[in-house]
């Protein structure tokens, strides 16, 4: 049987740990595939890499293991049960053997200040940082005899990089790398460059702009690999992209859309820093303006509430105008467990990018817009139309097989 690797950057974070536990339980047929879009009927007859063919590895900057990260989630959050941890313990130990110290590079004070960092993660020369990533990825591929590897950036949200001319053109970025000038690079940029170097599909599940700079997209295109991002659409923005079309279809004019997000956990702690939060807020706020095409008052706020753990609460207030200019409102409260919502999507996206690579497709994958807050290069934000895009792609993949 062919085997495929998923390389998780941020391997012991909440999303990755939940993914590792869930994938192991799925491979052991210990749980049903709830929440996996790729197990729903629209995928019938599509030759996706089977769940049992997937092998996990990754990079992590903290001196942490999946086993202890999973125990902590079970204790603090309850989204992973003790029974589940007993079922998957052996698999987690094996994956822990394939997790390597990651790379910190211009990552900003919030990430560099995380507790328990490995002592081998600090780099000042981007060539050495990239070399480390390439060595680890190559070893993962060879030792596990993998046919393909998809690189998934699911690490903490980075601040936006300082604008730099090399961000626009791949050859300029390569020149700065060759000269050992680290100024234009963030850690995410280097991970994406490594994917391009090795011909691996690349997924940016985070809002971090450094991962899919225009120059990086060019490099990935030149390497003829499929890629997609940015920022998984799992909660408030998912509901937004389902509801905004309803107002548009019925010609109800949205005047204001105000959203308050409360979240705890490490992700919330990082987003408590203004520089990191602003990349997330921009990603969450962009959809309405792009989709509605008229000005409105909108604001997204994110507050860190430690006791919530991974259980996020979003309250949205939508003020709209109907016939005779009469004003009305809709409110919703979303209470979701972030990693439980995100982890299956990462599995779906990894399988889809591997499928695209096997079909010799390359470049951005607009049929995956459904999964993102800021779909790369895409101006389609209507959830219903995004679902049709995916359906059309799957029909063509089914016909070709």
Ligand X SMILES: NC(=O)c1ccc[n+]([C@@H]2O[C@H](COP(=O)([O-])OP(=O)(O)OC[C@H]3O[C@@H](n4cnc5c(N)ncnc54)[C@H](O)[C@@H]3O)[C@@H](O)[C@H]2O)c1
Point out which residues bind ligand X (CB under 6 A). 9-10, 12-15, 59-62, 102-104, 107, 111, 114, 154-157, 187, 205-206, 231-232, 234, 266-267, 270, 338-339, 341-342
Least separation in angstroms between residue 88's CB and ligand X is 18
Least separation in angstroms between residue 284's CB and ligand X is 10
Least separation in angstroms between residue 261's CB and ligand X is 11
DSSP state of 212: G
By C-beta, is 154 or 196 nearer to ligand X?
A: 154
- Say how far apart CA 124 and CA 182 lie, in whole Å: 7
Residue 18 belongs to what H/E stretch?
Answer: helix 14-27
Least separation in angstroms between residue 294's CB and ligand X is 27
Backbone φ and ψ of 332, nearest 5°: -140, 155
- Say how far apart CA 181 and CA 125 lie, in whole Å: 7
Three-state DSSP class for 360?
coil
By C-beta, is 309 or 366 nearer to ligand X?
A: 309
By C-beta, is 61 or 352 nearer to ligand X?
A: 61
Three-state DSSP class for 343?
helix
Dig out the tokens for 304 from the structure: 């860190």
- Say how far apart CA 300 and CA 112 lie, in whole Å: 26
Least separation in angstroms between residue 213's CB and ligand X is 16
Backbone φ and ψ of 263, nearest 5°: -145, 155
Least separation in angstroms between residue 70's CB and ligand X is 12
By C-beta, is 194 or 342 nearer to ligand X?
A: 342
Rounded to whole angstroms, the maximal C-alpha distance in the chain is: 69
By C-beta, is 114 or 330 nearer to ligand X?
A: 114
Least separation in angstroms between residue 254's CB and ligand X is 24
Tokens 């690490």, located at residue: 155
Least separation in angstroms between residue 373's CB and ligand X is 7
By C-beta, is 76 or 222 nearer to ligand X?
A: 76
Quick check: 275 and 160 in contact, CB under 8 A? yes
By C-beta, is 187 or 394 nearer to ligand X?
A: 187
User: Which residue number places its CB atom closest to ligand X?
Assistant: 13
DSSP characters over 19-66:
HHHHHHHHHTT-S--TT-GGGSGGGTT--PPPGGGEEEEEEESBS--H
Quick check: 35 and 357 in contact, CB under 8 A? no
Least separation in angstroms between residue 81's CB and ligand X is 19
By C-beta, is 60 or 148 nearer to ligand X?
A: 60
Rg (CA), the chain: 21
By C-beta, is 362 or 375 nearer to ligand X?
A: 375
SS (H, E, C) 123-166: CCCHHHHHHHHHHHHHHHHHHCCCCEEEEEECCCCCCCCCCCHH
């Amino acid at each position: 049987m062919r085997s495929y690797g998923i390389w998780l950057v941020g391997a012991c974070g909440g999303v990755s740990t939940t993914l590792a536990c869930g994938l192991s339980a799925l491979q052991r047929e210990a749980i049903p595939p709830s929440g996996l879009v790729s197990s729903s009927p629209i995928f019938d007859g599509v030759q996706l890499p089977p769940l049992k063919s997937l092998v996990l590895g990754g990079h992590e900057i903290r001196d942490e293991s999946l086993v202890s990260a999973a125990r902590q989630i079970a204790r603090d959050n309850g989204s992973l049960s003790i029974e589940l941890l007993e079922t998957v313990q052996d698999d987690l130990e094996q994956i822990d053997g394939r997790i390597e110290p990651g790379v910190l590079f211009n990552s900003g004070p919030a990430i560099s200040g995380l507790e328990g960092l490995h002592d081998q993660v600090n780099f000042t020369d981007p060539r050495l940082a990239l070399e480390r990533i390439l060595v680890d990825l190559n070893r993962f591929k060879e030792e596990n005899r993998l046919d393909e590897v998809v690189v998934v950036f699911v690490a903490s949200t980075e601040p936006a990089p300082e604008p730099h001319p090399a961000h626009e053109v791949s050859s300029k970025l390569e020149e700065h790398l060759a000269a050992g000038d680290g100024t234009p690079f963030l850690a995410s940029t280097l991970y994406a460059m490594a994917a391009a170097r090795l011909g691996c599909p690349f997924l940016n599940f985070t809002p971090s702009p450094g991962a899919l700079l225009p120059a990086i997209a060019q490099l990935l295109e030149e390497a003829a690999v499929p890629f997609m991002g940015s920022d998984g659409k799992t909660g408030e923005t998912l509901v937004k992209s389902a509801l905004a079309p309803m107002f548009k279809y019925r010609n109800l004019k949205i005047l204001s859309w105000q959203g308050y997000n409360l979240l705890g956990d490490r992700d919330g702690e990082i987003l408590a820093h203004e520089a990191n939060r602003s990349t997330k807020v921009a990603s969450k706020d962009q959809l309405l303006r792009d989709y509605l095409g008229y000005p409105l008052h909108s604001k997204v706020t994110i507050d860190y509430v430690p006791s919530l753990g991974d259980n996020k609460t979003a309250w949205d207030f939508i003020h709209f105008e109907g016939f005779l200019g009469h004003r009305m409102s809709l409110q919703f409260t979303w209470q979701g467990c972030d990693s439980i919502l995100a982890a299956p999507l990462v599995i779906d996206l990894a399988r889809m990018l591997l499928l695209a690579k096997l079909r010799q497709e390359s470049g951005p994958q607009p049929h995956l817009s459904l999964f993102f807050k800021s779909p790369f290069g895409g101006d389609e934000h209507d959830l219903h139309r995004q679902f049709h895009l995916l359906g059309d792609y799957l029909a063509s993949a089914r016909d070709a097989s």
